[in-house]
Amino acid sequence: MTNLDETGALRRTPLHAAHLKAGARMVPFGGWDMPVQYAGVKAEHAAVRQSAGMFDVSHMGEFRVTGPDAEAFLQYVTTNDLSKLRPGRAQYNWLPGEAGGLVDDIYIYRVSADEFFMVVNASNIAKDWAHLTRQAARYGAVLTDESDQWGLIAVQGPKAADLLQLHADTDLIARKKNSFFSAHLFGLPVWLARTGYTGEDGFEVFVAAEQAEEMWNQLLSVGLIPAGLGARDTLRLEAGFPLYGHEFSDSIHPLSSTYTWVVKDKQHLGREHIDLAPSQKLIGLALDKVPVREGYPVQLDGQVVGHITSGSLSPTLGYPVAMALVNVQSADAEAYGVEVRGKLHEARRVALPFYKKADV
């Protein structure tokens, strides 16, 4: 359940050898040895925005929840309404903390009436497992950690569905966003979810760990561009997607974000903390030239009113963008100053997301 192996070394996904073969630059990430880039962040980002790319996200955790009380248990430990989730559908959700904040932000997939599948952030696998098993003690629900059993490849981009359709045994084009279903892809058994973390269309491919490299190679052979953590971060930032540890944490009120729709009118763990008004608000910022990074102070009228949570040059827009948590009373200003190495740079408040894919 730890993100390090028994020797204390970085863990490797089932695709580690494939990344080395492709010449990826590898970096430590949440206890894993992961590819940050192959050809380069800019090219990989553009491939996903314009055509299709693929990411190794096998480091994410997978839990299965079964039993007659599975739905009741998950309803209690999450904020979204799972009673509305039909079999074959996926739902973005939160695990609220007992003392406030979020334990994690997750995706839940309903397999059947009393069976659910859950994907959690890689850096939170052990924490989430401990939290959920502790809460499950009072319910007739069985949890299974399947994290080591799955390879997970995110195929993303406007041409993703068309490329995969040629090699699938079922109609992918007609599947709606957040669909979740079994299929065969290149003859291999998989589960597919029409979900992603880039702001583009696509499918996340769940494949048995021992078949993950074969799947990766097949996807390479039909022209999919491998993309690393660098492009994944610039893509999700442009789309305004929060990242746990940056925009969310166990000490950040989740309703500081624009994701208020994730909290439904129901009783759940930590509800009394969710109901408190947040003291901060997540805003979008655009700058002219200087990229800003996590932790940089945000000023208004000479006073520090918040900090950058994520920031980068936007490859699509051509200028730096950032998300920042600022005091609620300072959240409606038109412009702020961001301190970079002792110098203030003007940042304009802009609406989130920074980028939204065109309707087709």
The percent helix, strand, coil of the chain (3-state, each to 5) is 25, 35, 40
State which H helix or E strand residue 125 sits in: helix 125-136
DSSP 216-251: HHHHHHTTPEE--HHHHHHHHHHTT---BTTTB-TT
Task: Please state, in angstroms and rounded to a whole number, the distance separating the CA atoms of residues 350 and 238.
Answer: 12
**Token digits of residue 71:** 């739905």
Binding residue per annotation — 204? yes
Instruction: Measure CA 205 to chain center.
Output: 15
Q: Of 76, 273, 274, 57, which is closest to residue 151 (Cα–Cα)?
A: 57
Task: Please state, in angstroms and rounded to a whole number, the distance separating the CA atoms of residues 350 and 334.
Answer: 8
How deeply is 336 buried, as exposed, middle or buried, from its count of CB atoms within 10 A (0-12, 13-18, 19+)? buried
**Token digits of residue 36:** 């940050």
Task: Please state, in angstroms and rounded to a whole number, the distance separating the CA atoms of residues 282 and 10.
Answer: 33
C-alpha count within 13 angstroms, C-beta hemisphere, residue 18: 23
Annotated binding site: 204
Annotated binding site for substrate: 204
